[in-house]
Structure 1
Amino acid sequence: MTAPTDGYPRRYDSEGLGMSDLERRTHAIGVDIGGTNIRAGVVSWDGEILDTVHAPTPRSAASLERALEGTIRELMQRHEISAVGLAIAGFLTRDRTTVRFAPHLPWRQAAVGSDLTRRLGVPVVLEHDANSAAWAEYRFGAAKGSENVVIIAIGTGIGAALLIDGEIFRGSYGIAPELGHIQVVPDGRTCPCGKRGCWERYCSGTSLIDTAIELLASQPSMSTPLAREVRMDPGSISGRRITAAAQDGDPLGEATVAEFARWLGVGLAMVSDIYDPDLIVIGGGVGSSAPMYLDEAREHYAAMVTGAGHRPLARIRRAQMGEEAAMIGAADVARAARSESTSG
């Protein structure tokens, strides 16, 4: 049995129309492979997680594949499984069988999909973790019913995914869209990607820290609880601490979050100029604090988008699927890809 290597996930409606009886009876496994932990779950056709297994992420490629095989087999012993989807933060080939490069995992040009398909005897499909989460939102969450959607996951950096006419867009080589590395400030803050001034350096959890330090440097007389903490030990400050300070009314915290909202609006306007989506979904770890900044970001977006005042604006919503989105989406992508390969 070989893994499916072409096509996009087939569209199903919320009642599962378009699925065979076999697709409803069998389940798929979604695996969210993080740099620290592997989280695997059995997912039903309607997005319900039925069973889970967690394991630490090994450091070597061979050990990681053995750990994945063991984790998946454990679930396969308890459930009838039709396909497996792996959600991976890294660059994949467009056919979703090979990991080109994953910065937090040991794989380099590794044919993970075909190797695990051979070992397990069921199709194993790879998917970018942001695409997996986006697909979960499209099928079951905030993007359900929309056609042209941009998903922005804001955490340590910015992950992004794009759905065009209800299909995941991957680009010619499986890498798109790296929206977090669009340059918004020429010669701006350095980015781990090697460039300067990337959007995620001004609009992410780590950017909050840099912004707070820069604001305090420009206003040295500021004296607030957060300002004193930053002066005393800037290395101990986290994005979570800054948002908590803002919620408590700390002026430095509020100013930092306001800058974050401005840069989010700037980036969303650029994204809308390029893709013209009908919906933008904001998720990720910093996305959970969206009530603090989303209304202000909407105002910046509406003012800065090209043709402001003379064009429809994208709706901007919070993600709904939470931390399990990548697991659910990877399972559903794998199930649909298997269905395409068997029906074609």
Structure 2
Amino acid sequence: MGIDVGATKIAALRVARDGTVLARARCDTPRGSAEDLVDTLAGLVKQVRGDRVVAVGAGLPGMVDARTGALVFAPGLEFARAPLRGMIADSVGLPVRTDNDANAAAWAEYRLGAGRGHDHMVLVTIGTGLGCGMIVGGRLLRGSHGYAAEVSHLIVDPQGPRCECGEHGCWGVSASGRAIARLGREAAAARPGSALARLIGRGSAGAGEAVTRAAEEGDSQAVEILARVGTLTGRGLASLANMLDPSVLVVGGGPISAGELLLGPARAAFTSWLYSPGDRPGVPMVPARFGNDAGAIGAAVLALDEFTGRSPDGS
């Protein structure tokens, strides 16, 4: 089983070895203590467990200690650090693997998805914020403690919006789903008669989804918003490629449904910001295979790999 814990929603999947989703459940993320969260996770496990589940993986929205599996810091949750790996294992009676949610998504794409066959891979997920997981030499890049690949605070636009960290233009506030929604609402307010304003005003979809739909209908401001976010994403990916020299870049998250409206500008910016692009092999930038299921599928595969002898850390 794989569980993807988000700041607002939790998804739980029962997953076959090849990544096929066999059963699923979903609920709101509880407000409150670590114990409240564990109780909710145990309830989801009970719903979709089945007879052949051998391990549970949980992708968590924050910093996870690589040695102990404890949650060290999660800005989207209401409690401080907690030994979640042990707490969940005690509650569900199964072996448990916990990891950062973006690491889990990266492992899904590396093992079974768009990064399969590439032992040097970067995954960036554009969601409410921005997540990143990196595969180097066939292993998850963790750093000394498990906190590597936190690229959300890489500055991609020095004149951009202020981040919660105090700096301006961090990737996570400048080129994320939240940024698309913010820019969409601003554009709708400036042009109340536009297709974008009409779609946002209906309220049937979030502002970010409305931007994509308006861009597909030809709304010029919506197209510009996606191009801006794509350009900043390409800048960030170029910085990562300059550091890591990956053979593929995988981009996931809800906004990727915009396709080339976002990825086209991202590729153009990537090439212009990459060091000496004419003297190195091309680096394909491809959409993730598993979409919003990547975190839960990756958590399941991480757990299965660990408890059946294939460690993501190479041991």
Given the two structures, how large is their TM-score scaled by the length of structure 1? 0.80
Question: Which of residues 171, 185, 194 in structure 1 aligns to 2:157?
Answer: 185
Question: Which of residues 33, 39, 43 in structure 1 aligns to 2:11?
Answer: 39
* 204-213 or 78-87, which deviates more: 204-213
Give the whole-Å Cα distance in 1 for the aligned partners of 2:196 and 2:292.
32
Does 2:256 correspond to 1:287? yes
Give the whole-Å Cα distance in 1 for the aligned partners of 2:262 and 2:20.
31
SS in 2 for 1:194: coil
1:59–1:106 CA contact under 8 A, matched in 2: yes
* 268-277 or 205-214, which deviates more: 205-214
With over 3 angstroms needed to count, the CA separation of the structure-2 counterparts of 1:324 and 1:257, relative to structure 1, is: closer
Give the whole-Å Cα distance in 2 for the aligned partners of 1:102 and 1:306.
34
Q: Which residue number in structure 1 is paired with residue 93 of structure 2?
A: 121
**C-alpha displacement of 1:64:** 1.7
Deviation readout 1:47-71 (Å, 9 max, x if unpaired) = 1222223343322222221222233
Report the RMSD for the aligned CA atoms in angstroms: 2.9
Question: Which of residues 204, 222, 238 in structure 2 aligns to 1:253?
Answer: 222
Does 2:55 correspond to 1:86? no
With over 3 angstroms needed to count, the CA separation of the structure-2 counterparts of 1:54 and 1:259, relative to structure 1, is: closer
For residues 122-161 of structure 1, the aligned pairs below 5 Å read: 122-161=94-133
Q: Which residue number in structure 2 is paired with residue 19 of structure 1?
A: none
**C-alpha displacement of 1:226:** 5.3
**C-alpha displacement of 1:335:** 1.2
Runs of 4+ in 1 over 4 A off after TM superposition: 209-217, 226-230
Name the amino acid aligned to 2:52.
E
Given the two structures, how large is their TM-score scaled by the length of structure 2? 0.87
Deviation readout 1:285-330 (Å, 9 max, x if unpaired) = 1112122121232122112211121222211101111221111110
Larger radius of gyration: 1
Give the whole-Å Cα distance in 2 for the aligned partners of 1:204 and 1:119.
35
Q: Which residue number in structure 1 is paired with residue 44 of structure 2?
A: 71
For residues 44-59 of structure 1, the aligned pairs below 5 Å read: 44-59=16-31
SS in 1 for 2:122: strand
With over 3 angstroms needed to count, the CA separation of the structure-2 counterparts of 1:48 and 1:269, relative to structure 1, is: same
**C-alpha displacement of 1:193:** 3.5
| Gapped regions of structure 2 (runs ≥ 5) | none
Deviation readout 1:22-64 (Å, 9 max, x if unpaired) = xxxxxxx111122333322221222122222334332222222
**C-alpha displacement of 1:254:** 2.3
Question: Which of residues 236, 261, 268 in structure 2 aligns to 1:267?
Answer: 236
1:99–1:107 CA contact under 8 A, matched in 2: no
1:202–1:211 CA contact under 8 A, matched in 2: no
Deviation readout 1:154-205 (Å, 9 max, x if unpaired) = 1222111101111111211211211221012336311134332102332122
With over 3 angstroms needed to count, the CA separation of the structure-2 counterparts of 1:272 and 1:215, relative to structure 1, is: farther
Give the whole-Å Cα distance in 2 for the aligned partners of 1:322 and 1:55.
18
Deviation readout 1:70-100 (Å, 9 max, x if unpaired) = 3324444x31221110111111112252001
| Identical positions, percent | 33
Number of aligned residue pairs: give it.
307
SS in 2 for 1:261: helix
Deviation readout 1:260-280 (Å, 9 max, x if unpaired) = 222122112111111111100
Give the whole-Å Cα distance in 1 for the aligned partners of 2:196 and 2:56.
48
With over 3 angstroms needed to count, the CA separation of the structure-2 counterparts of 1:341 and 1:179, relative to structure 1, is: closer
Give the whole-Å Cα distance in 1 for the aligned partners of 2:254 and 2:39.
29
SS in 2 for 1:68: helix
* 109-118 or 134-143, which deviates more: 109-118
With over 3 angstroms needed to count, the CA separation of the structure-2 counterparts of 1:255 and 1:50, relative to structure 1, is: closer
| Gapped regions of structure 1 (runs ≥ 5) | 1-28
